[in-house]
Amino acid sequence: MAVGLLVLIGGIWLGGHPGWMPTSLRNTLTGNSQEKLVNEAMSIISHDYYRPVNTNQLLNTGLAAAVASLNDPYSHYLDPGDYHQFEQTSNPHVAGVGIDVQATARGLQVIDVFPGTPAARAGLRARDLIVAVGSTSLVGRSATSDTNLITGEAGTQVHLTVLRGKKREALVIQRANVLVTSGGIVTYHGVKIGDVRLTSFTDGSGAAVKAQVEKVLHQGAKAIILDLRDNGGGLLDEAVNVASIFIPDGTIVTTRGRSQPTEVYTAKGGAIPTSIPMVVLVDRGTASAAEIVTGALKDRGRAKVVGTHTYGKGVFQEIQPLSNGGALDITVGEYFTPNGMNLGGGGVREGKGIAPNIYALDNPSTPQDEALQVAERTVAAEVK
């Protein structure tokens, strides 16, 4: 009942202010009879409700409820404040500390610390548990709000309380512009392998990965591991850019949507030689744009997939800014791998994802990375 009322209020306000809506929504909601009805209802609420009404709050709440009624976990309404924050955190040079984290009930578990970053210099380690940022406890909070507390303006300091085993430590870290990719050389039985990791597909990710690949090749790497574990995706164009580093030509992904024609994205050229063997390393957290890259590499026979089944997301979203400073982040279509497979379970439902060629699972309770070891062994065997 409450959701229905909020949707109605949002519809009423939008109907009376059609310029605030995307064209498709405006055409749907603002026919002559509908416009008369919503204006009538809005007038009654504005003049007769027992207390003054904050129309901006009604708008934000109503829009959020309207999008929630789609029962789509990937679609959201971003109010002006949320959209501003999104624009900041979607930048690949986020002013942060250089860590990859996973939300738990007790706080943020550090999955990885990128070399040369403020976090690495401060002594933060993988498997540390961040339980507080400043005076704010992270217990029971969302992952988004937690990470937003850590990021901020470059050059400012953030105070973290960390649990390392049973020991509690306080760290002061200076934020900096951190690029969300890393690369280095690992050696397996004398074979140099470039280990390149990408945690998110944001603006510039393709160029950043290409730079890391060129760096490790210059250092003598004879094979490449592209580590996309815990990469939840991001921008479709950047997925195409990353895949194009390894695939010289042909189809990367095909998209289909209701309001846009079918589009085939092809490799952009400039790929490294296909004679350089590669493996893409994935897990359950590999989703969306990361699955697009994985699917292209697997379907085109460019790489073996090592790890577990990926997440299984077969749809993509677009950000459509609104004139109130907010935005709709909504599902606009489905994507298909070069072999024509959609990874989802039909629409926005979770699917089976991509099955690995070689199953490997890291045990977080051990110091070694078992899945990475399998990837190293697999790709080293391909080196001529």
- At the topology level, CATH places domain 94-178 in Pdz3 Domain (2.30.42)
Q: Who has greater pLDDT, 314 or 2? A: 314
**Category of 340 on φ-ψ map: left (φ > 0), alpha (ψ -120 to 50) or beta:** left
pLDDT of residue 3: 37
3-state secondary structure of 140: coil
Task: Report the alpha-carbon angle 100-103-105, nearest 5.
Answer: 150
Using 50, 70 and 90 to split pLDDT, how confident is the model at 341?
A: very high
Q: Which of 90-94, 240-244, 348-352, 358-362 has the lowest mean pLDDT?
A: 90-94
pLDDT of residue 12: 35
Does the pLDDT value for residue 22 go beyond 70? no
Using 50, 70 and 90 to split pLDDT, how confident is the model at 182?
A: confident
Using 50, 70 and 90 to split pLDDT, how confident is the model at 10?
A: very low
Does the pLDDT value for residue 383 go beyond 90? yes
**How far is residue 282's CA from residue 371's CA, in Å, rounded to a whole number?**
9
Listed in sequence order, the residues at least 6 apart from 253 whose beta carbon sits closer than 8 Å to its beta carbon are 236, 239, 240, 243, 264, 265, 292, 295, 296, 335, 336, 337, 338
pLDDT of residue 30: 47
Instruction: Say yes or no: do domains 94-178 and 180-319+327-380 share a fold.
Output: no
**Category of 215 on φ-ψ map: left (φ > 0), alpha (ψ -120 to 50) or beta:** alpha
Average pLDDT, the chain: 84
pLDDT of residue 279: 98
Q: Using one digit for the tens of pLDDT, what is the confidence trace for 89-130?
A: 555 444 578 887 777 878 888 877 877 788 888 999 888 999
Mean pLDDT (whole number) for 327-354: 91
pLDDT of residue 239: 95
**How far is residue 177's CA from residue 165's CA, in Å, rounded to a whole number?**
29
Homologous superfamily of 180-319+327-380 in CATH? 2-enoyl-CoA Hydratase; Chain A, domain 1 (3.90.226.10)
pLDDT of residue 88: 62
Task: List the structure tokens of 321.
Answer: 């800014």
pLDDT of residue 45: 82
Question: What are the residue ranges spanned by the domains of the chain?
Answer: 2-69, 94-178, 180-319+327-380
**How far is residue 162's CA from residue 194's CA, in Å, rounded to a whole number?**
31
Strand order across the 191-198 sheet: 181-188, 191-198, 223-227, 278-282, 304-307, 358-359
Does the pLDDT value for residue 179 go beyond 90? no
Does the pLDDT value for residue 18 go beyond 50? no
Mean pLDDT (whole number) for 10-36: 50
Mean pLDDT (whole number) for 202-227: 93
Q: Using one digit for the tens of pLDDT, what is the confidence trace for 39-96?
A: 787 788 888 999 998 877 877 888 888 899 999 888 889 888 878 767 765 554 445 7
Task: List the structure tokens of 6.
Answer: 């909020």
pLDDT of residue 74: 85
pLDDT of residue 94: 46
Q: Using one digit for the tens of pLDDT, what is the confidence trace for 194-203?
A: 999 998 887 7
3-state secondary structure of 328: strand
Does the pLDDT value for residue 31 go beyond 60? no
**CB-CB contact of 106 with 234 (8 Å):** no
Q: Which of 100-114, 186-200, 315-329, 369-383 has the lowest mean pLDDT?
A: 100-114
Mean pLDDT (whole number) for 342-359: 91
pLDDT of residue 19: 43
**pTM across the whole model:** 0.71
Burial of 111 (0-12, 13-18, 19+ CB in 10 A): middle
pLDDT of residue 242: 97
Does the pLDDT value for residue 34 go beyond 80? no
